[in-house]
Amino acid sequence: MNHRLTRAGVALCALAALTLSACSAPTEATPAPTSATGSWPRTVTVDDQTVTIDEAPQRIVALSTETGDIALELVGHERVAAVSHGSVTEGAGNQIAEAELVDTALPAGTNPDPEQILALDPDLVLMTSRHEGEQDAADVLSKAGVPSLIFDSSNFESIDTVMTAVETIGQAIGAESTAADIVTSMTEQQARVLAAISDDPIDTTVLLLMSRGGRQFVQSASSAMSTLVEQAGGTVVGASEGAVPAGPEAIIAANPDVIIVEDFQGEGITPFTDLLDAGALADVPAIASEQTATVSASIASGTSGTRTVEGLTAIASILHPDADL
């Protein structure tokens, strides 16, 4: 099978990138140093947890890429004592220039070491709970008197939940005004995209693929990219509650009109070349009509943060190629 489908997908994403460059500010523009505002102490709520923060945090430790990137976008590196490994990794972090100025980048892992965190003398810890280890660390930090905000992965699965997270972190660190500006910009860009596709109803099924550790998967129904596809008018197929292995049988069963591959850390479609070239897939509509595209994880994943609205633009351009985006 030739790979015009791949090049077509790249071209679509390139078009989306050109459009974005015309309508949005550079993501990594260095934020001006921001002093904390408002009255203290203050109480901040995340889901069902309430945390009291006595003073404006000056040594913020972020244990997850998404929370660290938001903090850096709000206040810059000056008030951030440590970030996660993902925040300084190309293709993962979205505030790399600022993250590289932070003194400490914590090693990758699922079990944060409370002693290591306490040694950083934090006055606020931000984290995303994916494993039991994060909650254990939060319990130790709480007993030591260090306020911790624990976000759930679902807090970063859609544009609306990301905006809520931005507002919450802005409140926690005294950067409400900057957070409001970011949310306003995201809201306006989201509205522009939805208005541009509102007169183009579609009946398009979409299969979402991702690769990790040399293995290929169908993305979960709750992934950020799934929510963006649905918001752009597509119907996600083949997805389960969690990510499941991707093979010819799964793709044939899903029978998608379009396949979108998550471009993870610049790998593009390469991890899926052999799979999508399988002769058994020749009659799958997305393969037969060469409707396979890539979208970067940096704008359409659980760690894409405020750039998730760019992911909506890119996906909308794939599903609505004639829309003025």
Residue-level pLDDT at 143: 87
| 173 has pLDDT over 60 | yes
Domains of the chain: 4-24+201-319 (3.40.50.1980), 42-174 (3.40.50.1980)
The CA-atom distances, in angstroms, between 134 and each of 159, 169, 174, 274, 292 are 24, 18, 24, 37, 37
Residue-level pLDDT at 132: 57
Between residues 1 and 313, the one the model is more confident about: 313
Which of 271, 270, 288 lies closest to 279 in space, CA to CA? 288
| 22 has pLDDT over 90 | no
Stretch among 135-144, 154-163, 191-200 having the lowest mean pLDDT: 135-144
Which residues is 199 bridged to in the sheet? none
Residue-level pLDDT at 35: 55
Residue-level pLDDT at 34: 54
Radius of gyration over every alpha carbon of the chain, rounded to an integer in angstroms: 20
Q: How confident is the model at residue 193 (pLDDT cuts 50, 70, 90)?
A: very high
* Tally of helices (H runs) and strands (E runs) in the chain: 12, 13
Asked whether 14 and 136 are in contact (CB, 8 A), the reply is no
Kindly report the pTM of this predicted structure: 0.86
Which of 102, 95, 88 lies closest to 59 in space, CA to CA? 102
Identify residue 1 by its one-letter amino acid code. Answer: M
| 183 has pLDDT over 50 | yes
pLDDT digits (tens, 9 = 90+) for 204-251: 999 999 999 899 999 999 999 999 999 999 999 999 999 999 999 999
Stated length of the chain: 325
The CA-atom distances, in angstroms, between 323 and each of 80, 205, 289 are 41, 18, 20
Which of 168, 195, 172, 193 lies closest to 183 in space, CA to CA? 168
